[in-house]
A and B are shown apart, each in its own frame.
Chain A
């Protein structure tokens, strides 16, 4: 009989034994993000864990019901401001289908480039926090600095460092600036060279390996059973990436390689996003090469576009954390009737209680943050 059988995750707050002490990690703890993790420990070992999200709930889905398809754009990207293009992507794809508009070919490529840049920006931020949680200050400083190379590119494209509000139903807000291809290629190549240097200082570092290997093992069966997505699923040996399995926009014309690791431990979960970043650099180079050199990037649309009648649509994309879905119900008015977002952070969080049981308390940050969890997105 395992610990999981004795105490299912939902009942972690129940008093069991005199020996057991209950600890609150968060919501003000810097290691928890905007959430509380209730852990029960026996000595140094975690016997039960109950994550308690919901501290940064903003009602994004309800807000979307009072705004039209265009004015929804600036606030729906707020849940993950570093990954704002990817958060908007499924909504924009869905809104395009409901409004019945075609997207120009060049806009699709611009979207792919922005989406991959945003994935790298998000992952670098995540990696910086993962590094500082494990006490590795260098791994905090380097990604936080090298992230600037890509933020600079996104700033040139969209005019904002975060919360770009760049994707819009019908394409993208503006065309790429002049000479962007050369600048992008130069900075992305240098960025790739830089992140490959992280291997020596972080991923091949024996101290990191001893702290993260064989902790929080998520088996292939459990990864599928809990419904995890993205890097967590791929680190457990499941080859699943929406860019390959269900390509959207022009991903079917690009050669996307999926990174899979079989171990399913914290180390694998922290390494897969890093490998994905190198793959993103490849995709950006391909997209820059295949992109039509001229043409429109946005279908002309009124500020308050009319829908074609009642419709429902579900679109999903691969974000920096995993598959991100958006379900839009339209009743024929200018505002959506319902917008529901199915976010990867929340799904990955469901696996956490079972990963932590039996681990030492000191391993909690490495397991928790390796789940690629972003609290604001889970609450939205």
Chain B
């Protein structure tokens, strides 16, 4: 194949893309849809349930304050600290619950694997940016809030290429 033919073929291959749909996800307007409600773990079978490893969600009525999540995090990120829960809130016998510092968390989900009481799960919420370091520390009360999410964009493969629709 000659040099001229090769260059024309290369250009032609690029020109074809004028007719191909845009693949880029326009992020704040469009958001990717994930499978399930976040990464969860079933202690009875010892296997997780697929989902995004995003912000945690703490179920106060299940948490016993056993500190296993905090111990699991010790070797990874040291992001989980056990803190006293205010008296007016729902609490366990020890009245301690995990508080998670998202400035340190690596979102590996080993704390979810460690929880034997179905109390700590992960959600599809990944927009955690904050102007201060303190804003990244989520107290047990903040962790109990279910995130409000509008994620509906998925990769679709059409005759004119892949696109987010």
Contact = CB atoms under 8 A, between A and B. Distances in A.
Contacts of A175: 47-50
B108 A73 contact: yes
A301 interface: yes
B110 A206 contact: no
A245 to B, nearest CB: 33
Contact of A71 (B24, B47, B75): B75
A200 B23 CA distance: 21
Given A159-B51, A187-B155, A200-B12, A205 B45 contact: no
B4 to A, nearest CB: 8
A296 B41 CA distance: 14
B106 A74 contact: yes
B106 A145 contact: no
A68 interface: yes
- Give the contact-size bracket for chain A: 35 or more
Interface string A201-238: 11011110100000000000000000000000000000
Contacts of A209: 6
Given A152-B155, A177-B35, A209-B6, 19 more contacts: A67-B75, A68-B75, A71-B72, A72-B75, A75-B76, A145-B24, A156-B35, A163-B106, A165-B109, A174-B41, A175-B50, A177-B36, A177-B50, A178-B35, A197-B13, A206-B3, A207-B7, A299-B46, A301-B46
Contacts of A173: 48, 109, 113
B162 interface: yes
B50 A156 contact: yes
Contacts of A163: 106, 108
Nearest to B164: A148
Contacts of B80: none
A300 interface: yes
A297 B106 contact: no
A157 B34 CA distance: 10
Interface of B: 1, 3, 6-7, 9-10, 12-14, 23-24, 32, 34-36, 38-39, 41, 45-53, 68, 71-72, 74-77, 106-110, 113-114, 122, 155, 157, 162
Given A163-B106, A297-B47, A298-B47, A204 B155 contact: no
A272 B48 CA distance: 37
Interface string A13-35: 00000000000000000000000
A205 B122 CA distance: 47
A186 interface: yes
B6 A206 contact: yes
29 contacts: A73-B108, A73-B110, A145-B23, A148-B155, A155-B32, A156-B50, A159-B34, A159-B109, A160-B107, A163-B106, A165-B108, A174-B50, A175-B48, A175-B50, A177-B50, A178-B35, A197-B13, A200-B9, A200-B12, A200-B13, A204-B6, A205-B10, A206-B7, A296-B47, A298-B46, A298-B47, A300-B45, A300-B46, A303-B114
A74 B155 contact: no
A187 B164 CA distance: 13
